[in-house]
Chains A and B, each alone.
Chain A
Amino acid sequence: MKTALRFTALVMLAAILAACAREVVEEPTPPEPPEPTERPPVETDRVDPRDFSDARNLDNPDSLLSQRVIYFEFDRSNVRSEFRPIVEAHAEYLRANSSARVILEGHTDERGSREYNLGLGERRGNAVEELLRAGGVSSRQIEVVSYGEERPVCRESNEDCWERNRRTEIVYTAR
C-alpha cells in the first residue's frame, strides 16, 4: 500500500513537472534528439566489426562505426588523417543503407566571437560532409547543422576542454 501511494505520488509529480516544463518554455520544443546508443548489447561475436554495412556495428565498440566524433585543431576545419577511417566507415554504411540519415553537428570551442564560431562549426560539418560525399553518399542522406560554441561537452576554460569541444558529431536520425 505504502509503495503504491509513493508510486502514485511519483507519477503525479512527474506529470506536474512535465506540465510545468510546458508552461515555462515559450517556444516550441525541438524534435527529440536521436537516442544515444542505448540499445540492448549486440552479440558482437557473430558480427564482423569490419563489415561497415551492418547496422549492428553502430553499437559495437569494436567497430569503427561506433565512433561518431571527429576532432579538429584550433581554427581549422580539415579532417585529420587519423579520423578519415571513421568517416570512410560511415560513408560505407550510408552507401549500403540508403534509408539511413545523418545530421553532422559542427561545434567549436568557446574562444572568439559566437557568430563567427557558427560559421566555423558549419565548416567542420561541411568537411565531414565532403568526405562522405566523396565516399559515394547521397546528399539527401546528410544535413549539416552548426551549433558553434553553444553546445560544449566540456565546460572548463582550458586546452583539454577546448580540444574536446572542437568537433563534428555524426548523429544518426535514421539507421
Chain B
Amino acid sequence: MSLPEKSFLPSATMARRLSLAVLLAALLLPALASAQLRIEIVDGVEGAMPIAVVPFAWDSDMPEPATSVSEIVSANLHRSGLFDPMDEEQMIDRPTRPTEVGFGTWRLLKVDHLVIGRVTDAADGVGYEIEYHLLDVHTGRILMSQALPVGPGDLRFGAHRVTDAVYERLIGTPGAFATRIAYVVVTDRDGDDELFELVIADADGHNPQTIVRNTQPILSPAWSPDGRKLAYVSFATGRSNVIVQDLYTGQNRTVSSDRGINGAPAFSPDGRKLAVSLSRGGSPDIWVIDLDNDDQREQLTRHWTINTEPAWAPESGRIFFTSDRAGRPQIYSMRSDGSDVQRETQEGRYNARPSFGLDDRHMAVVWSDGNNDFRIAIHDREAERLRVLSDGRLDESPSFAPNGSMVLYATRENGRGVLAAVSADGRVRQRLVLSEGDVREPAWSPIIR
C-alpha cells in the first residue's frame, strides 16, 4: 500500500487538521512549560539560625494567592541552608505589626529573629505593597523596616526581594533569591528524536518558561549583565551558531555562524561585547564580538590548540579561558585586548570552564586529577588553594550565583542529568530535580533589579 499524495486531503480536512493542530499545540505547550525543578536541601549548616517568618496579613481586595509571601520567604531561607525557619503550626502568636510583638514568647520558642508584615493594595491601585519588618528577638529592636511596591503579577518575585534584604541584613552579603536560572532540558532520550529545550525559571525553580525548542542540540546559555538577554549555542541549522535572544520580546539574532565551531558565548560586564570561541581559522580561538558596533569581531588568541570557554573576571575585566596549549586543558587569562596571557591553574590534570561570582578571587571550574572523575572545584586565587566541592563522576558546567554564595552545576544521578548546587564553603548542598528528562547546562542570572 502506498501513501496517497498530500492533495488527497480535502480542504475541510485541512481546516480541521489546522484547528486540531492549534488545539493540540495549546494543550502541549503549557504541559511542556510547566515541568518544574524541585529543589531539595541535601546538607545544611550545623547550627542554622532559628528564625520565624510569621504569616503576613493579607489586606487586599484581590484574592490571596495559594502560596503566601511569608511561605515563600520561609522556604527561601530554609533552602539557603543557613536558616532554620519555624513551622507555621508552632507559632502561638501571629503579629503583623511591630507593636503587636511579645518578644518574651519568641524568646521562649528559642527564635533569634522574626519577620512580620502585611500585603496591601498599592496606593496607586496597580499591584501591591509588601510592608515587612525584621526584628531581633533578644534585644527587642527593629533591624529593618521596608515597604516594597510590586507589580500585579510579581508577588513571588517581591517575596524573593524580601528574602534578599533579610539575608543581607543577617548574613552580611547580598542574597541571590530575586534571580533566575537558565538550563537545558533534553527529553525522549530513548528515541532518536530528542527534544532540546532552553528554559528559564526563578531561582527557586518556579515559573519555568521554555524559550527555545529544537530537535538539534542547544548548549552554553549565558546571561547578559542586565538579565534581559541570553546568548546560547544552537545546532538548529545542523552546525553550531551563536544566538542572542531578548527574553522580553522573544526576538533572537544569530551573531556568529562562521565555518567551524561557533561556541562558548560570554557577555562582557558592560553587556556590549560577547566573547566567543570560533574555529574559522582552523582551531578554536577566543574572539570578541562588538554587539554595539555591527558585530565587528576581533581575534584575541592565535594558537593552534583549543581555546574556548571565555569568562570575564568581574573586577579586573580580564578574560579567563580554557586552553590545552600545554597538552591538557588548563585555565589561562589575558587582558580584554588579548595581551598579557598568563597560566592560571597548575593543580590537577584538567581544569576547564571557568566561572566567577562577585570577585576575581574565587573561580569555579570543572576539575580532574587525571582519573575518570570530573568534579567542580573552586580556585582561591589569592590563597592559591583549591577546594573540590562536588563528589560526582561527571560533574560539569559550574555557574556561580551572582552573590558568590553558591555554585550551580550539572551532575548525573541514576543515569539522568540533574542539577546540584553547593555553597562556596562546601557546607550547604542542594539538588534540583525535574520529574522527567535530562537537565544540564545551568546558568545563574545576575541580580535582577
Contact = CB atoms under 8 A, between A and B. Distances in A.
B213 interface: yes
A166 interface: no
Contacts of A20: 21, 24-25, 28
B36 interface: no
A30 interface: yes
B397 A147 contact: no
Q: How large is the interface on A (under 10, 10 to 19, 20 to 34, 35 or more residues)?
A: 35 or more
Interface string B254-281: 0000001101100000000000010100
Shortest Cβ-Cβ A-B pairs, 4 listed: A119-B306, A19-B21, A150-B217, A23-B25
Contact of A113 (B21, B353, B393): B353
B372 interface: yes
23 contacts: A7-B1, A11-B3, A12-B17, A15-B17, A16-B20, A16-B21, A25-B213, A27-B234, A30-B216, A30-B238, A33-B238, A113-B322, A113-B329, A115-B219, A115-B277, A115-B322, A115-B353, A119-B284, A122-B283, A144-B260, A150-B217, A150-B219, A150-B235
Nearest to B393: A157
Interface of A: 7, 11-12, 15-16, 19-20, 23-31, 33, 75, 110-116, 118-120, 122-123, 126, 144-147, 150-151, 155-157
Given A16-B20, A30-B238, A114 B13 contact: no
Contacts of A119: 261, 277, 279, 283-284, 306, 308
Interface of B: 1, 3-4, 8-9, 13, 17-18, 20-22, 24-25, 28-29, 32, 189, 195, 212-217, 219-220, 234-240, 260-261, 263-264, 277, 279, 282-284, 306, 308-309, 322, 324, 328-329, 350, 352-353, 366, 368, 372, 374, 393-394, 396-397, 412, 415, 441
A153 to B, nearest CB: 10
A155 B412 CA distance: 12
Contacts of A11: 3-4, 8-9
Nearest to B8: A11
B217 A31 contact: no
Contacts of A25: 213-215
Contact of A26 (B214, B260, B353, B394): B214
Nearest to B214: A27
Contacts of A28: 236-237
A118 B284 contact: yes
A87 B372 CA distance: 30
A112 B374 contact: yes
B415 A157 contact: yes
A9 to B, nearest CB: 11
Contact of A157 (B8, B322, B350, B394): B394
A146 B238 CA distance: 10
Given A11-B4, A24-B28, A111-B372, A122 B260 contact: yes
Nearest to B29: A24
Given A11-B9, A119-B279, A145-B238, A112 B214 contact: no
Nearest to B190: A155
Nearest to B306: A119
Contact of B352 (A24, A113, A150, A155): A113
A147 B217 CA distance: 8
A33 B216 CA distance: 11
Contacts of A151: 217
A54 to B, nearest CB: 29
Contacts of B18: 19
Contacts of A113: 309, 322, 329, 352-353, 366, 396-397
B350 A114 contact: no
Given A25-B215, A26-B212, A156-B415, A116 B260 contact: no
Given A27-B212, A144-B260, A147-B217, A112 B368 contact: yes
Contacts of A144: 260
B25 A27 contact: no
Contacts of B374: 111-112
A12 B20 CA distance: 10
A111 B394 contact: yes
A23 B368 contact: no
B235 A147 contact: yes
A112 B396 contact: yes
A114 B279 CA distance: 15
Q: Which of A24, A114, A115, A151 has the most CB of B within 10 A?
A: A115
B9 A15 contact: yes
A17 B239 CA distance: 26
B261 to A, nearest CB: 5
A118 B261 contact: yes
Contacts of B189: 155
Nearest to A15: B17
Contacts of B20: 16, 19
A24 B353 contact: no
Nearest to A10: B3
